[in-house]
Amino acid sequence: MRYLLIVLLLVTPLSLASQERWSSAGPAGHAPIGVMGDHTHSAGEWMFAYVYQRQAMSGLRDGTGRVSTDEAWMHYRMVPLSMEMDMHMPHIMYAPNGRVTIMAMGMWMEHSMEVRMEDALMAGHGHGHQMDGHGDRSFHNMAHSLSGWADTEVSALVTLLDRNRQRIHLNLGVGLPTGSVTASDDRMVVEHSRMGYPMQLGSGSWEARPGATYLRQTDRVSWGAQGLSTFRLNENSEGWKRGTEGEFNGWAMLRGSDVVSPGLRIQARHWGDVSGADSALDPSVSPENDPSLQGGTRMDAFLALNFQVPSGALAGHRVALELGGPVVESLNGPQSSHDWTVNVGWEYSF
């Protein structure tokens, strides 16, 4: 009898819920702002959005262990010290019908990297005789910076299932090679002026970006899981190809308020080494020039806050914030190590 009661208690809310659909309404109806292509739109609906991301890196890692600047300096003539990447991502979503949502996303990036480098790598350097304690190589610190459009993504989100407050959609994306792979710094001697693989803004390749997203809602929580991948289809004009990437996102947003929703996200990423090589990059100069030192795996944890204006003149506007950093990081190094990521975004649908 007691078991029967428990079973009845469990089944009743489930059977009521099964009449309901998953809903993107409210601040919990969208994933944390760093997740792209998490939600679809209803027929005829548009969304304009802008996401800003800042990532900060410093120090070096090989595997999961740290490598000091002095240690790396024994093997290379240029060593990355820190890097900041700012990304501005405007995107548009439109649903021509209830099953398909189209998304187009541009990416303007600003990269800035501080390096320690041998004076001899500078164009027109005066032969200094400063000693660095590791031989007769004099050095200085300097910043390389670079900005421009990175690669562009166009994708279709196709809904496969929409019932019992669950949804599944496919993320069918294509990456267009709009970002440069030939950026250089002309303050350096001409044979070493090409910037390394991490600094280049694009992949230079056409990309297939298939993925899938699962969404689920209860009265208290809106949660989801997403797997995304990137396959570079051709070698770029400089004779190399970025490695295959896989990304997993899992998140949960608290429901209940029509204004604010706090949440958590876990992101795991794996990206492969570069195949082929840019003949303008000498791998003995810097680890950033070595195609076999580009891959890695990282898991980040994020705290998220989503806001939505529920009514009035600004109804339909959303603002969201996310802050996170690595929990685990393993790099084919020495490679720059991640410190933190901030995502800020604005979305408006009508």
Interface residues toward Cu ion, by CB under 5 A: 47, 93
Give the whole-angstrom CA distance, residue 261 versus residue 255: 6
Residue 47 or 331: which CB sits closer to Cu ion? Answer: 47
Residue 93 or 188: which CB sits closer to Cu ion? Answer: 93
Smallest gap from Cβ 29 to Cu ion, in A, equals 10
Alpha-carbon dihedral angle through residues 225, 45, 49, 266, given to the nearest 10 degrees? -10
Smallest gap from Cβ 325 to Cu ion, in A, equals 26
Give the whole-angstrom CA distance, residue 318 versus residue 345: 8
Which residue of the chain is nearest Cu ion when measured via CB?
47
Smallest gap from Cβ 174 to Cu ion, in A, equals 18
| Structure-token pair, residue 22 | 């998953």
Smallest gap from Cβ 104 to Cu ion, in A, equals 12
Alpha-carbon dihedral angle through residues 191, 192, 196, 197, given to the nearest 10 degrees? 10
Residue 5 to residues 14, 15, 18, 24, 235, Cα–Cα distance (Å): 15, 15, 20, 34, 64
Residue 340 or 350: which CB sits closer to Cu ion? Answer: 350
Residue 93 or 331: which CB sits closer to Cu ion? Answer: 93
Smallest gap from Cβ 38 to Cu ion, in A, equals 8
Residue 93 or 215: which CB sits closer to Cu ion? Answer: 93
Burial class (CB in 10 A: 0-12, 13-18, 19+), 225: middle
Write out the H or E segment, with its range, that includes residue 324.
strand 317-349
Residue 209 or 241: which CB sits closer to Cu ion? Answer: 209
Smallest gap from Cβ 53 to Cu ion, in A, equals 17
Instruction: Look at residue 149 and give its three-state secondary structure.
Output: strand
Among candidate residues 212, 214, 234, 303, the one with its CA nearest the CA of residue 266: 303
